[in-house]
Every structure is written in C-alpha cells, then in structure tokens.
Amino acid sequence: MRAERTYTGRCLCGAVELRVVGRPAVMGFCHCGSCRAWSGSPLNAVSLWLPSAVNIVRGGTEVGSFQRTERTIRKWCRHCGGHLLTEHPTWGVVAVLAGVLREFPFDPVLHVNYAETVLHLRDGLPKLKDLPAEMGGSGVSLPE
C-alpha cells in the first residue's frame, strides 16, 4: 500500500509550518475582490482540502486570524504577516494558498468568481461566473 503524499508549507519567516496530506479536493483560481485584496494579486491560486488533511505543525501560537464573514476565516503569521490559509467552515474545506506549499504540483482545473476578474486569461480552463452550484453559486460558465 502506498503512503499518501505530504506537502509542507511555511510563512515567510518560517515561524509557522503547516502540512497537508493526500490530494486536494480541487485546485483553481479565485478572482473575487476579497481574495484579490488578501493575496495582493489580480487572482488567488488556491488548493481546497478537507480540514482533516491540513495541520499546523509548528508555530500555532503565531497564527493570527480574521473572520470577515461566516464563510471565511483567513490565517496568517503574526510575526511576519505571511499568509497561510483560509478556513471555509460552511463549505467544509480549507483553502491553502498554492504558493505556500513547497514542491506542490499545482494543477488548476477552473476559475471561480470570474465575473469579478481584473485579469482576463485564455488558458482553456472553465470560468465560472461565481461559485459552483455545490458551493451555493450559480454554476454558470462564462466565455473565455
């Protein structure tokens, strides 16, 4: 039997370390204004994991959080400000920023909240107006 793959991530200063085990439920790009502000980028590359697959293994006391809505709890290192992950309790997933995970094979399959985009991309991936229907969105696809 093959062991599940483990990936490690750290904040900028290394005070906080996290591990994810297995495979994410999905990988993609979010274009919503909140994620753009959080990431400081025109889009946010994320991998969504079951909460049981994500663990802070070092520096847990250094983790700060901000709950903007009932759907979003953002986590970062209090020492360096490095962003780590976002908990989405109502959806039962944790979004780990793809750039935080070292040696992680990021392989996105879709764009969400593309109606809010400020960076139009032609990459052949589906572009959802908002969120998938399973997450309470319309599930409507937009043209590239």
Rg of the chain (C-alpha set):
15
- Between the alpha carbon of residue 91 and those of residues 6, 50, 56, 73, 87, the distances in Å are 23, 10, 20, 12, 9
pLDDT tens digits, one per residue of 81-123: 999 999 999 999 999 999 999 999 999 999 999 999 999 999 9
101: buried, middle or exposed (CB in 10 Å: 19+, 13-18, 0-12)?
buried
pLDDT recorded at residue 1: 57
CA atoms within 13 A on the CB side of 2: 5
pLDDT recorded at residue 2: 65
> Hey, what amino acid is at 62?
E
Q: Which two tokens stand for residue 51?
A: 């909460």
Residue 24's CB: how many other CB atoms inside 10 A?
24
State pTM to two decimals: 0.92
1-8 mean pLDDT: 83
Domain boundaries, the chain: 6-142
Q: Which two tokens stand for residue 124?
A: 């052949």
Given the candidates 2.170.150.70, 3.40.50.2300, 3.65.10.10, 3.40.50.1000, the CATH classification of the domain at 6-142 is 2.170.150.70
Q: 110 with 58: CB under 8 angstroms? A: no
The overall average pLDDT reported for the chain is 95
pLDDT recorded at residue 140: 97
Q: In which band, very low, low, confident or very high, does the pLDDT at 22 lie, cut at 50, 70 and 90?
A: very high
